[in-house]
Structure 1
């Protein structure tokens, strides 16, 4: 890829399974991250995997296996995610999952990029983020965190539960569950708080986003799942993808991820920094471009 280098991390958080996945097709210049989300209706595969694991696995395997012509651009990447969504629907149907119950659906956010000689194409859904770094020291957030409103509502309710004296993760989870369920109903739905996510719903194809940037002055691209965000004490404060990219640029990807894990461990009961688990899964790809 003409001097392009890359580094990756894929770290299980405090849950039983790592529900993230990496996509690396170096020969084709294709890279991606996937963030699976467990259904709110309990489900386990015969070997124990959650729906979130299966959603991220199906998405990654679909993208890894689909052909990609030399002339393929952003629309082809969106088509890859749409095909993964169709395969996810078929697998859930085979397991008897009711597609009308959004809280029962396996789901995943995803981001894939394709590096070409003069441009970079991308397709995105959910809260997987893409940040470009330039040789003049500036950063540019290329994607929108489509789950920001739903996540802020969840964290606000978590903080309220803690402030009311509810202790323990399980008790707080029960307090916040109705808010999470309300957020799941916004998946692939119209309206200001709707968001795109792979969950088998055919409406996904209408909401997946894609685009193209040129490579002029481009120094790096950071692809990340939301586990890479620095947690915030104020649940109303937006997570900051540019902040993460600057920290990664300063510390290095692996060192930043390890620092973040330790930072989260300093608040094991999720009180100082409201969040629904001590440590989320962390998956990222850092692409670094040669100077031309």
Structure 2
């Protein structure tokens, strides 16, 4: 296997993403932390999103050879990381019953064997497979897509009303963002690692065969191309995969950052920050 990984900080002060490269047991993952809506600052100035990603990443990187790395075992690893996150929040005085205060993280992890690729996922970190016949398979489901779309629609509504400054658009959209956070680990929402044991009912896991698979890609949602207001709905994960396939991972990320820099106030492409953190692991299986 040949492994290429990158993690690029977005426009916020901290990179809230993390990558898992536990190569001894062929365990890989991407984690996307999210800042709590009630501000939190750690001992070194970290946000809750940074600390969430760090807790999960450190746990998964130290998993040993005796771990159960079947698909169901990977789910259990996410649940154990989620429990550690809960304990860390308790130590830092976070009110666990207040979802606006919780540190959050989406995640996707894979274990690669000679015959199978097992995975577990929560939220909008994605697993994509590339096949020898040029087929692209989006293996996981973006659980946040519909919730995010409501946020983008609200942002676009603010632009249509005449708001053109990103800070003002954030304030206009924040009530919708809060409503979205309330849906974490609920039937109408999405799975997310936030210390809530209910994650067990919303995280997904599974297995695909390695037959015909030449590479797999793990990504955080910062690699999605932003969509112009009113644009025809397209499959963002497929667009992302085509970009990585045609340009290469680093060149695609550079191109995307240039696009984001061209719209610093987030009015041409409605989104809540100029540039999100971008983390990806590309695993070439035929090298």
Q: Smaller-chain TM-score range?
A: over 0.9
Whether the 8 Å contact between 1:186 and 1:195 is mirrored in structure 2 is yes
Match of 2:158 in 1: 161
Match of 1:258 in 2: 254
3-state DSSP of counterpart to 1:104: coil
Measured in 2, the distance between the counterparts of 1:19 and 1:267 equals 22
**Superposed structure 1 runs of 4+ greater than 6 Å apart:** none
Match of 2:210 among 215, 228, 239: 215
Q: Does residue 89 of structure 1 match 2:71? A: no
What is the deviation of 1:70? 7.4
Whether the 8 Å contact between 1:230 and 1:239 is mirrored in structure 2 is no
Let me know the Cα RMSD of the aligned residues: 1.3
What is the deviation of 1:96? 1.1
Match of 1:30 in 2: 27
Match of 2:77 in 1: 80
TM-score (norm 2): 0.97
Measured in 1, the distance between the counterparts of 2:18 and 2:142 equals 18
Whether the 8 Å contact between 1:235 and 1:274 is mirrored in structure 2 is no
Match of 1:19 in 2: 16
Matches within 5 A, 1:242-253: 242-253=238-249
Match of 1:269 in 2: 265
What is the deviation of 1:190? 1.4
What is the deviation of 1:68? 4.3
Measured in 1, the distance between the counterparts of 2:202 and 2:275 equals 29
Whether the 8 Å contact between 1:36 and 1:109 is mirrored in structure 2 is yes
What is the deviation of 1:27? 2.2
Q: Larger deviation: 235-244 or 148-157?
A: 235-244
TM-score (norm 1): 0.95
3-state DSSP of counterpart to 1:287: strand
Residue ranges of structure 1 left out of the alignment (5+ in a row): none
What is the deviation of 1:69? 3.3
3-state DSSP of counterpart to 2:42: coil
Whether the 8 Å contact between 1:232 and 1:239 is mirrored in structure 2 is no
What is the deviation of 1:283? 0.2
Measured in 2, the distance between the counterparts of 1:138 and 1:261 equals 26
Match of 1:8 in 2: 5
Whether the 8 Å contact between 1:87 and 1:200 is mirrored in structure 2 is yes
What is the deviation of 1:66? 2.2
Match of 1:48 in 2: 45
